[in-house]
Structure 1
Amino acid sequence: MKHLITGLLTLMILSAACTNESKLSEKESHHNRDLQLSSERMTPEALWSFGRLGNARVSPDGATVLYSVTYTHIAEDRAYTDLYTVPANGGSPTQITNTAENEGQPDWRPDGQKITFLSSESGTAQLWEMNPDGSQRTQISDIEDGITGYLYSPDLKHIAYSKPVKLDQTVNDLHPDLPKANARIETDLMYRHWDSWHDYTYSHLFIASYENGQLIKEGTDIMEGERFDAPLKPFGGMEQLAWSPDGQKLIYTCKKLTGKEYAFSTNSDLYMYDLEGKLTTNLTEGMAGYDKNPVFSPDGTRLLWESMARDGYEADKNRLFLMDMATGEKRDLTTPFDHNAGAPSWDRNGDFIWFTSNVKATYQIHLLSLRDGSINQVTEGQHNFNDVAHTGDALIATRVSMSAPADLFRIGIKDGSTTNITNTNEQLLNQLSLGKVEERWITTTDNQQMLTWVIYPPDFDPNKKYPTILYCQGGPQSGVSQFWSYRWNFQLMAANDYIIVAPNRRGLPGFGTEWNEQISGDYGGQNMEDYLSAIDALAREPFVDEDRLGAVGASYGGYSVYWLAGNHNKRFKTFISHCGIFNADMMYTTTEEMFFVDWDMDGPYWEHPNNQYAFSPHLFVDQWDTPMMVIHSEKDFRIPYTQGMGAFNAARIKDLPAKFLYFPEENHWILSAQNGILWQREFSGWLDQWLK
Structure 2
Amino acid sequence: MNKTLSTMMVATSILLGSCQSSEVKDAKTDPVETKPVIGRSDIKIEDGRMTPEALWAMGRIGGVQVSPDARKVVYSVAYYSVPENKSNREIFVMNADGSENQQITRTPFSENEAKWIKGGSKIAFLSSESGSSQLWVMNPDGSDRKQISNYDGNIEGFAFSPDEKKVLFISQVKTVPSTQDKYPDLDKTTGIIVTDLMYKHWDEWVTTAPHPFVADFDGDTVSNPVDIMEGEPYESPMKPFGGMEQLAWSPSSDKVAYTSRKKVGKEYALSTNSDIYVYDLNTKQTTNISEGIMGYDTNPQYSPDGKQIAWLSMERDGYESDQNRLMVMDLQTGEKRFVSKDFDSSVSEFCWGSDSNTLYFTGVWHGEIQIYGADATACSIRQITEGMNDYSGVALMGDKLIALRHSMSAADEIFSVSPASGEATQLTFENKFIYDQLEMGKVEARWMKTTDGKDMLTWIIYPPHFDPNKKYPTLLYCEGGPQSPVSQFWSYRWNFQIMAAHDYIIVAPNRRGLPGFGKEWNEEISGDYGGQCMKDYFTAIDEFAKEPFVDKDHLGCVGASFGGFSVYWIAGHHNKRFKAFIAHDGIFNMEMQYLETEEMWFANWDMGGAYWDKQNATAQRTFANSPHKFVDQWDTPILCIHGEKDYRILANQGMAAFNAAVLRGIPAELLIYPDENHWVLQPQNGVLWQRTFFEWLDKWLKK
TM-score normalised by length of structure 1: 0.95
Distance in 1, Cα, partners of 2:30 & 2:463: 43
8 A Cα contact 1:32 1:49, kept in partner: no
Corresponding residue of 2:665: 655
1:491-530 → structure 2 map (5 Å cutoff):
491-530=497-536
For 2:82, the aligned partner's letter is: I
The one-character-per-residue Cα deviations of 1:654-681 (angstroms, maximum 9, x if unpaired) are: 0000000000000000001100000000
The one-character-per-residue Cα deviations of 1:135-185 (angstroms, maximum 9, x if unpaired) are: 111110000123222111111111111212224321121112333332111
8 A Cα contact 1:7 1:101, kept in partner: yes
RMSD: 1.5
8 A Cα contact 1:293 1:305, kept in partner: yes
For 2:216, the aligned partner's letter is: S
Corresponding residue of 2:116: 108
Return the offset for 1:392: 2.6
Return the offset for 1:331: 1.5
Return the offset for 1:412: 1.6
8 A Cα contact 1:291 1:307, kept in partner: yes
Q: Does 1:220 align with 2:226?
A: yes
The one-character-per-residue Cα deviations of 1:227-257 (angstroms, maximum 9, x if unpaired) are: 1111101110011100000100001111100
Corresponding residue of 1:62: 70
Corresponding residue of 2:595: 589
Q: Find 2:199's aligned residue among 191, 199, 203.
A: 191
For 1:128, the aligned partner's letter is: W
> Percent identity of the aligned residues?
54
Q: Find 1:451's aligned residue among 446, 452, 457.
A: 457
8 A Cα contact 1:507 1:516, kept in partner: yes
Could you say what secondary structure the match of 1:476 adopts? coil
Could you say what secondary structure the match of 2:224 adopts? coil
Distance in 2, Cα, partners of 1:32 & 1:535: 41
8 A Cα contact 1:29 1:100, kept in partner: no
Could you say what secondary structure the match of 2:79 adopts? strand
1:531-542 → structure 2 map (5 Å cutoff):
531-542=537-548
1:126-141 → structure 2 map (5 Å cutoff):
126-141=134-149
Could you say what secondary structure the match of 1:536 adopts? helix
Corresponding residue of 2:6: none
For CA contacts below 8 A with separation 6 or more, give which structure has more relative contact order.
2
Corresponding residue of 1:490: 496
Distance in 2, Cα, partners of 1:490 & 1:471: 9
Distance in 2, Cα, partners of 1:395 & 1:548: 46
Distance in 1, Cα, partners of 2:188 & 2:428: 54
Distance 1:27 1:424, change over 3 A: closer
Distance in 2, Cα, partners of 1:611 & 1:47: 41
Q: Find 1:147's aligned residue among 155, 159, 164.
A: 155
Could you say what secondary structure the match of 1:644 adopts? helix
Distance 1:586 1:6, change over 3 A: closer
For 1:214, the aligned partner's letter is: T
8 A Cα contact 1:4 1:102, kept in partner: no
1:338-487 → structure 2 map (5 Å cutoff):
338-487=344-493
Corresponding residue of 1:12: none
8 A Cα contact 1:129 1:137, kept in partner: yes
Q: Structure 2 unaligned runs (5+)? A: 1-23
Could you say what secondary structure the match of 1:548 adopts? strand
Return the offset for 1:418: 1.3
Return the offset for 1:26: 8.8
Corresponding residue of 1:117: 125
8 A Cα contact 1:29 1:80, kept in partner: no
Distance in 2, Cα, partners of 1:77 & 1:325: 49
Distance in 1, Cα, partners of 2:446 & 2:142: 48
Distance in 2, Cα, partners of 1:347 & 1:612: 45
8 A Cα contact 1:6 1:123, kept in partner: no
Q: Does 1:622 align with 2:632?
A: yes
Distance 1:6 1:236, change over 3 A: closer
Corresponding residue of 2:585: 579
Return the offset for 1:351: 2.4
Distance 1:576 1:7, change over 3 A: closer
8 A Cα contact 1:389 1:397, kept in partner: yes
Could you say what secondary structure the match of 2:484 adopts? coil
Distance in 2, Cα, partners of 1:118 & 1:155: 20
Distance 1:5 1:501, change over 3 A: closer
Corresponding residue of 2:3: none
**Bigger CA drift: 336-345 or 547-556?**
336-345
Distance in 1, Cα, partners of 2:67 & 2:472: 49
Return the offset for 1:94: 1.2
Corresponding residue of 1:336: 342
Q: Find 1:93's aligned residue among 91, 94, 101.
A: 101
Q: Find 1:680's aligned residue among 679, 684, 690.
A: 690
Return the offset for 1:614: 1.3
The one-character-per-residue Cα deviations of 1:459-496 (angstroms, maximum 9, x if unpaired) are: 00000000000000000000000011001000000100
Q: Find 1:209's aligned residue among 187, 206, 216.
A: 216
Q: Does 1:74 align with 2:82?
A: yes
8 A Cα contact 1:33 1:425, kept in partner: no
Could you say what secondary structure the match of 2:129 adopts? coil
Distance in 1, Cα, partners of 2:657 & 2:318: 29
Distance in 2, Cα, partners of 1:465 & 1:229: 54
